[in-house]
Amino acid sequence: MAKRIDVKDLNIFYGKFHAVDRVTLAVPPRSVTAFIGPSGCGKSTVLRSLNRMHEVTPGARVEGKVLLDGEDIYASAVDPVEVRRTIGMVFQRPNPFPTMSIRDNVVAGLRLGGMRNKKQLDEIAERSLRGANLWAEVSDRLDKPGGSLSGGQQQRLCIARAIAVQPDVLLMDEPCSALDPISTLAIEDLIGELKKDYTIVIVTHNMQQAARVSDQTAFFNLHGVGQPGRLVEIDDTEKIFSNPGQQATEDYISGRFG
């Protein structure tokens, strides 16, 4: 299922504002790629452009290409709804549907896809919850609302919801920034398991986290306020954190930024 992503000369604009300048990078299948960099450098924008979620903002547009196993997701015949069904996303704050039960939350994406078979839905709900390391904690209360779980459980519920539709790629936008250290550890362990089946791209402000979970790391930066963000470099995580190719990267990861 896992597919590779190639981003080629990607420029992103919000109206007249040039948000991201000429990003080119490649994400191999079954790997974890971390995006790091200061706030406002465009890393979340790039992440959201990978499943066309940035289009939710009025006036957003891109130039350049995002290829999913060689197919351009911005080609004119491609429906953004279809793109988002194959490229799942987990957000900064857990956002289960508050009125739906835990089970309904997990299978919400499948229901949207038209699946009605209850037995099949139940099987997938269990499989996804197991995949998100949440099954043991919620198996006895699947009919309770999703909002009744703790923050860390809610985030794993959202991951279960995202993997229930068996996406090709999983995007994570600072998935642990609203969680305590123990829940963070649970999510990081989960990321390590998920990469056996999925291509994962994660945005994080926590550099230890990037070092712990990712195979390669991309460092984004911007030259000044109002300037577009750009990709400084992308390389194996080990290399970025021990011997980065750019001075700016070294300054940032060693805390000498700005």
Partner 1 sequence: MIGAMTSDSGQPGVRTAAVRRPGDTIFRTLTTGAGLAIVIAIALIGLFLLIKAVPSLAADKDNFLISANFVTTDPNNLMFGIRDLLIVTVLTSLVALVIAMPVSLGIALFLTQYAPPRLSRPFAYMVDLLAAVPSIVYGLWGILVLGPALEPFEIWLNSTFGWFPLFATGNIPISGAGTIFTVGVVLAAMLLPIITSVTREVFRQTPVMQIEGALALGATKWEVIRTTVLPFGRSGYIAASMLGLGRALGETVAVLLILHSSPKPANFSLFDGGYTFASKIASAASEFSQPLPTGAYISAGLVLFVLTFVVNAVARSIAGGKAAK
Q: Under the rule (CB under 8 A), what is the footprint of partner 1?
A: 51, 53, 56, 58, 81-82, 84-85, 88-89, 91, 93, 95-100, 108-109, 112-113, 158, 161-162, 165
Tell me the closest approach of the beta carbon of residue 174 to partner 1, in angstroms: 13
CA dist., res. 12 & res. 198, Å (int):
26
Smaller CB separation from partner 1, 99 or 139:
99
Q: Taking the complex as a whole, how short is the minimal distance between the CB of residue 127 and partner 1, in angstroms?
A: 17
d(CA 164, CA 160): 6
Q: Would you state the structure tokens that stand for residue 187, as one six-digit string?
A: 């999510």
What is the layout of strands, in order, in the sheet containing 216-222? 71-72, 60-68, 5-14, 17-27, 229-236, 216-222, 32-36, 199-203, 169-173, 87-90
- Tell me the two tokens of residue 185: 């550890």
Minimum distance of partner 1 from residue 97's CB (angstroms): 6
- Decide whether 95 or 227 has the Cβ nearer to partner 1: 95
In whole angstroms, the minimum distance from the beta carbon of 232 to partner 1 comes to 28
Judged by beta carbon, residue 113 or residue 151, the one nearer partner 1 is 113
Q: Rank residues 90 and 222 by Cβ distance to partner 1 and give the closer one.
A: 90
**Contact status, residue 231 vs residue 220, Cβ threshold 8 Å:** yes
Query: Least distance (Å) from partner 1 to the CB of residue 22?
Result: 26
Contact partners, residue 7, CB within 8 Å, separation at least 6: 23, 24, 25, 26, 46, 50, 64, 65, 66, 67
Half-sphere exposure of residue 96, counting CA atoms within 13 Å on the CB side? 28
Query: 135: buried, middle or exposed (CB in 10 Å: 19+, 13-18, 0-12)?
Result: middle
Shortest distance, CB of residue 110 to partner 1, whole angstroms? 9
For the bound state, the minimum distance from the C-beta of residue 204 to partner 1, rounded and expressed in Å, comes to: 18
Choose between 2 and 240: whose C-beta lies nearer to partner 1: 2
What is the distance between the alpha carbons of residues 250 and 246, in angstroms, rounded to a whole number?
Answer: 7
Closest CB to partner 1 among residues 77, 81: 81
Nearer to partner 1 by C-beta: 96 or 152?
96
- Compute φ and ψ for 213, nearest 5 degrees: -100, -20
